[in-house]
Amino acid sequence: MTSLESPTASDTPGTVAPRDFPIRRGCPFAAPAEYAALRTDDPVARVTLPTRREAWVVTRYDDVRELLSDPRASADIRRPGFPALGEGEQEAGARFRPFIRTDAPEHTRYRRMLLPAFTVRRVRAMRPAVQARVDEILDGMLDAGGPVDFVTAYANAVSTSVICELLGIPRHDLEFFRDVTRISGSRNSTAEQVSEALGGLFGLLAGLVAERREEPRDDLISKLVTDHLVPGHVTTDQLLSTLGITINAGRETTTSMIALSTLLLLDRPELLAELRKDPALMPAAVDELLRVLSVADSIPLRVAAEDIELSGRTVPADDGVIALLAGANHDPEQFDDPERVDFRRTDNHHVAFGYGVHQCIGQHLARLELEVALETLVRRVPTLRLAGERDQVVVKHDSATFGLEELMVTW
């Protein structure tokens, strides 16, 4: 579907066929071009999901923030109208119930359990360890020699190692975690495939939980076991599901951001030069890259528990509704010249980490990883360049998180 003429939320569904969703990006560094027309002409638009179910998508900044802070917008994946993008996610999500897909009070309980590990103070203290890990991974990549796939050798290695270290997962095959997310996050996976992939992850975590119960260490798994599992506040299955979603949510998003940001900087040497000249720009640059790239565009999935009005239209109770973060982050009503990548942008109140009660719990850690990963690369590998043609870069279109499958580089 390319036409933007679809029924409004108050029309009778079925008179005009809803457009297919997700809508592909043309440029990897921008929202799909159709989002601009949706924001203007059809801000609460009816779509058909890959599961062939119908739902609504919301593209305006104000509507996205309103929806995500509305307690009537439920994140409970067990509700029949939940707009999962794949059958596998819908079925496995309803079975394993990761807390990102639950509502208060259940959601609040798990979120509170994790929060102390992700405060600004805690994350700041992790900087030396993150820097050491990033340097080690970069040494490995440089020693191996180019050309290499940057997604595997750097982006995935950094994001996976950092989360494993925080949780206390011994250095394992990094590709194992990538495969788990690749399968569980793909909208083409069946419920069996998702369950099998998550089953493998839970098996690994269950072994560690049992070990830490016997012999706690200084890591997050031990802390959660000691403070929450042993006193009986959570069951082992609930703990495994919480650990599993923390790994999955934290890995792929950060991998995508490191890889796409690097590609953008290679495409735009003037931006790279700006960062080289003024490294103090890095924190603001990271936030601008988060806004522009909006890799978690269609992660915030909700169901209307009651009728919800947005931009004068009604999302009826029990219908699925998706808050499109790239739509909000490129809304010219909120961001001056939103397609411009501006590392000196002020008032950059983007929603790349979502908004409201489910807003990303790992956002401080994600910012730290991005700052260290990009700063180290810019400083230590000034000759980094693409190996091969620009159009050979492999973009990932079938996953919950937008990103790159492969990025061949050399130096």
Q: Which residues form the interface with ligand HEM (CB under 6 A)? A: 75, 99-100, 111, 163, 245-246, 249-250, 253-254, 257, 295-296, 299-300, 325, 352-354, 358, 360-362, 365-366
CA distances (Å), 263 to each of 27, 177, 273, 289, 406, in order? Answer: 12, 23, 14, 11, 11
Q: Report helix, strand or coil for 112.
A: helix
CA dihedral 25, 50, 178, 122 (to 10 degrees): 80
Min dist CB 259 to ligand HEM, Å, is 11
Euclidean distance between CA atoms 192 and 87, whole angstroms: 10
Min dist CB 365 to ligand HEM, Å, is 5
Euclidean distance between CA atoms 378 and 70, whole angstroms: 41
The alpha carbons of the chain give a radius of gyration, in whole angstroms, of 21
| Nearer to ligand HEM (CB atom), residue 300 or residue 327 | 300
Q: Report helix, strand or coil for 250.
A: helix
Min dist CB 351 to ligand HEM, Å, is 8
Euclidean distance between CA atoms 127 and 371, whole angstroms: 10
- Tokens at 266, concatenated: 């290679």
| Nearer to ligand HEM (CB atom), residue 6 or residue 126 | 126
Cβ neighbours around 373 below 10 Å, total: 29
| Nearer to ligand HEM (CB atom), residue 172 or residue 385 | 172
| Nearer to ligand HEM (CB atom), residue 38 or residue 245 | 245
Q: For residue 333, what is the enclosing H or E element? A: none
| 224 Cβ contact list (under 8 Å, min separation 6) | 113, 114, 234, 239, 242, 243
Kindly report whether the peptide bond that precedes residue 22 is cis, defined as omega within 30 degrees of 0. Answer: yes
**Residue with the closest Cβ to ligand HEM?**
362
| Nearer to ligand HEM (CB atom), residue 365 or residue 407 | 365
Min dist CB 337 to ligand HEM, Å, is 22
Min dist CB 69 to ligand HEM, Å, is 10
Cβ–Cβ under 8 Å, residues 78 and 320:
no
| Nearer to ligand HEM (CB atom), residue 28 or residue 362 | 362
Min dist CB 78 to ligand HEM, Å, is 15
| Nearer to ligand HEM (CB atom), residue 6 or residue 133 | 133
Q: Where are the alpha helices (H) located in 215-360, listed in sequence order?
A: 220-224, 236-267, 269-277, 282-293, 325-329
Q: Where are the alpha helices (H) located in 190-232, listed in sequence order?
A: 191-214, 220-224
Min dist CB 280 to ligand HEM, Å, is 21
| Nearer to ligand HEM (CB atom), residue 6 or residue 31 | 31
- Tokens at 285, concatenated: 């640059």
Cβ–Cβ under 8 Å, residues 246 and 151:
no
Min dist CB 409 to ligand HEM, Å, is 20
| Nearer to ligand HEM (CB atom), residue 100 or residue 407 | 100
Q: Report helix, strand or coil for 173.
A: coil
Min dist CB 360 to ligand HEM, Å, is 3
